[in-house]
Amino acid sequence: MKAAVIVFPGSNCDRDLQVALRSAMGAAPKMVWHGDSDMPDVDLIAVPGGFSYGDYLRSGAMAAKSPIMKEVVARAGKGVPVLGICNGFQVLTEAGLLPGALMRNAQLKYICKDVLLKVAANDTAFTQAYDQDQVIRIPIAHHDGNYFADDDTLNELEDDNRVAFRYCDAAGTLSEDANPNGSQRAIAGIFNKNRNVLGMMPHPERLADAKLGGADGKPMFDGLVQALG
């Protein structure tokens, strides 16, 4: 498998994502600068977390207009898998690759902690290495992670099985207490209509090695290699 990680000014998880992919792939992904207009021939494009352009204007809004994003959108339209994590999720919504928006957390505070997620759909390249409804522990670190969409969009996501992950408690139960940012329907990650684009607020790359204190994120990268390698 060949992969590319997009690097924006303000990215702070690009190297983390590089390490997680390299561990799974056995080779380093290409690091592609946001100002480039050419994308190498790759099987996966990853848009990392961080604070692209300092979150000025609106989280992900300026990064979505970077030259490389035209090629990311084009490749996604041709079926190339695209993974957006945290700020990457925000960028993908701003670029029109995913519906809805990431708003300010309900408690209006930056949150950095481990959370529990329920795997809501395990029939994609991104999630195939997890069990359906499996509860996993993944860190979050965001100020604008409150997923919002209108009711028609939310119903469409539900009907098409395009919700990837939901915030939950240890028993897999959805509740207000288990929802760290107020996201509608406890949504932590979603797919596009063709299910080749995944945006998620939690950071699987930060728990992809037991040396980091856990490896619940590792199956995502291993599964991608298995599906695309």
pLDDT at residue 120 greater than cutoff 90: yes
CATH architecture of 3-228: 3-Layer(aba) Sandwich (3.40)
pLDDT score recorded for residue 57: 84
Q: Which of 13, 71, 94, 203 is catalytic?
A: 203
pLDDT score recorded for residue 156: 98
Q: Which of 34, 86, 94, 142 is catalytic?
A: 86
Burial pattern 23-40, b for ≥16 Cβ within 10 A else e, equals ebbeeebbebebeeeebe
Closest C-alpha among 174, 171, 192, 181 to residue 86: 181
**Residues 1-12: pLDDT tens digits?**
999 999 999 999
**Catalytic residue flag (residue 86):** yes
Instruction: Return the structure tokens found at 33.
Output: 């600068």
pLDDT at residue 192 greater than cutoff 90: yes
Per domain, the residue ranges of the chain are 3-228
Q: Which of 94, 142, 168, 205 is catalytic?
A: 205
pLDDT score recorded for residue 42: 98
